[in-house]
Structure 1
Amino acid sequence: MRPTLYEFAGGDPAFRALAAAHHERCLADPELNHPFSHPGQHPQHVERLAWYWAEVLGDPPRFSRECSDHSAMLRMHAGNGDMSDLGRRFVACFVQAADDAGLPADPEFRAALRSYMEWAVAEVLTYPGPPAAVPAGLAVPRWSWSGLQPL
């Protein structure tokens, strides 16, 4: 049986490294640095981001158990209007962070990661209005080698 994307990446250490590298890249980006450096950011932001991505890509539901659900993540990013350029920059930072974190260079794996992040950014951009517009109770999505999985 094929490993999950989470397992193939290298598990928790890989996702901690990915989240830290992505956060650093976003801070260094002249357009993305503002939303990533605001003072209201949760002190465990990078760790929670690692947990979220790990859960989406095949880890057990630690983010869901210890933090929140998908609705909360969408609400956190809602209400910012058209951010399509920031979305493209976010994906580019994610792709580069996979290199920085030393994730496997396997082309199929990297394509699955990129595909997930492009989908995730597109979903966030569907909520340009107030956070209250995000439906309640959305489960954290699951992504596999073949894309979005039914919940």
Structure 2
Amino acid sequence: MSELAGERRVSLFEHAGGAPAFQALAAALHERCLADPVLNHPFGHPGQHPEHVQRLGTYLAEVFGGPPAYSQTCGTHFGVLDLHARMGAEDDLGERFVRCFVLACDDAGLPADPEFRAALRDYMTWAAADVMQYSPPDSQVPADVTMPHWTWDGPR
């Protein structure tokens, strides 16, 4: 964890407000994506897991320093990437997703301080690029990808 003036800095998870904050963020992000004409299809398809929003919140919470609940109950990062792979997504899908994420942070009432928001945005920019690299129909996700963990200073 980063140090600030010689003191231990709380995780991004703690700073956000814990699990409830990430559940609110997941719900807001889902709504934003449903309202987007390009993101609507991947977020509104009938085969989506019935607990998608809750699982998304749990995933984000773990990434930002929360408990490993996603990894323990839902699967691995390989599963997340493989689920989104080979979609032949439009080139701007990642950028659209990041825009929705940034706006969803406001919708969810997450802390507005610039350093915190920059850390969240930097993660989602990285994550969107990570997903998009596996978008071509012949893509193969490496089996050994690990769960990302993001701090105030970026990936850990």
Fold match by TM threshold 0.5: yes
Assess if the C-alpha contact under 8 Å between 1:83 and 1:125 holds in 2.
Answer: no
CA distance in 2, matches of 1:98, 1:138: 27
Structure 1 residue 59 displacement after superposition: 0.6
Partner residue, 2:21: 14
The answer to whether the Cα contact below 8 Å between 2:86 and 2:139 also exists between their aligned partners in 1 is no
Query: Quick one: percent identity of the two aligned structures?
Result: 62
2:61 alignment partner, SS class: helix
Name the counterpart of 1:84.
91
Alignment correspondent of 1:129: 136
TM-score (norm 2): 0.91
Following TM superposition, by how much is the alpha carbon of 1:132 offset from its aligned partner in structure 2, in angstroms? 6.8
- Runs of 5+ unmatched residues, structure 2: 1-7
Query: How many angstroms does 1:5 deviate by?
Result: 0.4
Q: For residue 137 of structure 1, report the CA deviation from its aligned partner.
A: 3.9
Counterparts of 1:79 and 1:120, CA distance in 2: 16
Partner secondary structure for residue 133 of structure 1: coil
CA contact (8 A) 1:76 1:131 kept: no
Root mean square deviation, CA, Å: 1.3
Q: How does 1:29-44 map to 2 (within 5 A)?
A: 29-44=36-51
Instruction: State how far apart, in whole Å, the 2-side matches of 1:128 and 1:26 are.
Output: 18
Match of 1:27 among 11, 28, 34: 34
- Quote the Cα distance in structure 1 between the aligned partners of 2:132 and 2:66: 25
Distance 2:154 2:90 in 1: 24
Counterpart CA distance in 1 for 2:114 and 2:120 is 10
Tell me the equivalent position of 2:58.
Answer: 51
Question: 1:131 and 1:110 mapped to 2: Cα distance?
Answer: 35
Amino acid at match of 2:111: P
Q: Which has the higher helix share?
A: 1
Unaligned runs of 5+ in 1: none
The alpha-carbon deviation at position 51 of structure 1 amounts to: 0.6
Question: 1:130 deviation in Å?
Answer: 4.7
Gap change, CA 1:2 and 1:120, over 3 Å in 2: same
